[in-house]
Structure 1
Amino acid sequence: MKTFWDERYSQKEYVYGTEPNEFFRDQLPLLEPKSILLPAEGEGRNAVYAATRGWNVHAFDQSIEGRKKALALAAMHNVNITYEIADVLTVQLPHNHFDAIGLFFAHFHAQQREQIHARFLSSLRSNGTIIFEVFSTKQIEYQQQYGSGGPQQKELLYTAGDVETLFVGCDLLLLEEKEIVLNEGEFHNGKASVVRCVARKR
């Protein structure tokens, strides 16, 4: 998968755009700016947005090309971000460190999800907030009808129940499956079905 993402991000254009994820843009201003972890951050649009809002940003992704573009975008906006090259299965994260986590359209195989999300939650402080959005299992039909992107294997997609299970030990402030219209560059565009969640670690 590293090769896949390096090839995708090697394009001159920002393939998912330079504006932040819409759900992230709506939710982040509700929190006091402190420290935030952004896993699987790609080309850095969410990291740069958070930094412009005064957050101390730690991002990571497996793609070197994604990191290059993220740092270039940060420079364009005159902000600093920390961006590590790491894999979600092996990344070393500090315990009880971050005040928030933002995770968007990062789709993991069902057998890996619990392990990966447990690592993320371990790095979050008590009362820390998770802002989370993924494609729902209904997205297969939306891909066929609208070409709006996302994994084509149903096992990589989520139900609201799947997401609730991932965040055991958290209070769910918002959990919904809904239809939205994506406008995030070439690969996320059109009507789509997503699961959105805001959770607070106990």
Structure 2
Amino acid sequence: MSSDPSSGSGPAVASIATTADPSTAAYWDARYGAAGRLWSGRPNVRVVEHISALSPGSALDVGAGEGGDALWLAARGWRVTGLDISAVALLRAAEQAAAQGLPNIDWQCRDVLGWTPPAAAFDLVSVQYLHLSEPAQRDLHRLLTRAVRVGGRLLVVGHHPDEVPAARRFDPARWYPTAEQMAESLPCTTDGQWRVEVADAPAQTVADPHGTALTIRDAVLLAIRTA
């Protein structure tokens, strides 16, 4: 699992440690527990880019981590459900929400692979840098479309495959699709109920662990439920 190095969010199946299996809560609890703060606390740049102009409604942040995106949304009036597999990460996120006086966030500790979202419940479903195996990731994206109400948006952002080292890119435990591949996995173009607004590979500048600026590309899919 990977995440935007400039982000405040963590992946839903999430971060190092005492177990080698990054699909477990123990893995991510250990990683979050070993760090003072794993992510920056800032919202993901694509969330800010695509959501800033929208009127607030209800949002589901899948892979909320330490809460960067959820806190940013809540501060702008969104009613947020922040979902993550790590109780350690969500405790940290809840502490930040309390410190900022943000009561409109429902933190839920759940394994996204065994979870069924409420139907047509959200104006925004956001999935940031959550990389699973190909079948699991496709199934999750399809499942999350059910959670979006008519007129709502599904925003999925990942690492573009060209930015991922070959050893990781072809790891069957992780899938790094392009935006076009993500769109193909959704009912966006087959049932007439979705419209793809963005399927792109924009660049952003981030810092590596040594503070050196790097330019990388994201895979960004934004789709709107029309019926």
TM bin, normalised by shorter chain, reads: 0.7 to 0.9
Q: Is the 8 A contact 1:16 1:185 kept in 2?
A: no
Shift of 1:106: 0.7
Q: Tell me the residue number matched to 2:91.
A: 68
Instruction: State the TM-score, normalizing by the size of structure 2.
Output: 0.77
Q: Tell me the residue number matched to 1:193.
A: 217
SS in 2 for 1:200: strand
Given residue 178 of structure 1, which amino acid in structure 2 is its aligned partner?
A: P
Higher relative contact order (CA 8 A, sep 6+): 1
Shift of 1:88: 1.3
SS in 2 for 1:24: helix
User: Is residue 2:39 matched to residue 1:16?
Assistant: yes
Q: Tell me the residue number matched to 2:113.
A: 89
The separation in 1 between residues aligned to 2:97 and 2:208, in whole angstroms, is: 18
The separation in 2 between residues aligned to 1:82 and 1:182, in whole angstroms, is: 30
SS in 1 for 2:37: coil
SS in 2 for 1:89: helix
Note the alpha carbon deviations across 1:63-107, whole angstroms, 9 max, x for none.
Answer: 111111110111121102111111112113211111111111011
RMSD (Å) for aligned C-alpha atoms: 2.3
Q: Tell me the residue number matched to 2:14.
A: none
For the structure 1 residues 94 and 79, does the alpha-carbon distance in structure 2 shift closer, same or farther, using more than 3 Å as the test?
same
What runs of 5+ residues in structure 1 fail to find an aligned partner?
Answer: 145-150
Q: Which structure features the higher share of helix residues?
A: 1
Given residue 105 of structure 1, which amino acid in structure 2 is its aligned partner?
A: Y
The separation in 2 between residues aligned to 1:98 and 1:128, in whole angstroms, is: 7
Q: Is the 8 A contact 2:153 2:225 kept in 1?
A: yes
For the structure 1 residues 3 and 191, does the alpha-carbon distance in structure 2 shift closer, same or farther, using more than 3 Å as the test?
farther
Q: Tell me the residue number matched to 1:77.
A: 100
Note the alpha carbon deviations across 1:115-165, whole angstroms, 9 max, x for none.
Answer: 211221111101111222100111224xx9xxxxxx934342112321111
User: Is residue 2:66 matched to residue 1:47?
Assistant: no
Instruction: State the TM-score, normalizing by the size of structure 1.
Output: 0.86
The separation in 2 between residues aligned to 1:183 and 1:52, in whole angstroms, is: 26
Q: How many residues align?
A: 193
Shift of 1:108: 1.6
What runs of 5+ residues in structure 2 fail to find an aligned partner?
Answer: 1-21, 189-193
Given residue 32 of structure 1, which amino acid in structure 2 is its aligned partner?
A: S
SS in 1 for 2:161: coil
Paired-residue identity, %: 20
User: Is residue 2:145 matched to residue 1:121?
Assistant: yes
Q: Which structure features the higher share of strand residues?
A: 1
SS in 2 for 1:152: helix
SS in 2 for 1:19: coil
Q: Is the 8 A contact 1:38 1:59 kept in 2?
A: yes
Given residue 64 of structure 1, which amino acid in structure 2 is its aligned partner?
A: A
Given residue 94 of structure 2, which amino acid in structure 1 is its aligned partner?
A: L
Residue from 107, 110, 114 that aligns with 2:131: 107
Shift of 1:179: 2.8
Q: Is the 8 A contact 2:71 2:102 kept in 1?
A: yes
Note the alpha carbon deviations across 1:24-55, whole angstroms, 9 max, x for none.
Answer: 11221221101000111111110001000000
Given residue 179 of structure 2, which amino acid in structure 1 is its aligned partner?
A: A
Shift of 1:184: 9.3
For the structure 1 residues 173 and 17, does the alpha-carbon distance in structure 2 shift closer, same or farther, using more than 3 Å as the test?
same
Q: Is the 8 A contact 1:40 1:103 kept in 2?
A: yes
Q: Is the 8 A contact 2:84 2:109 kept in 1?
A: yes
Given residue 38 of structure 1, which amino acid in structure 2 is its aligned partner?
A: D
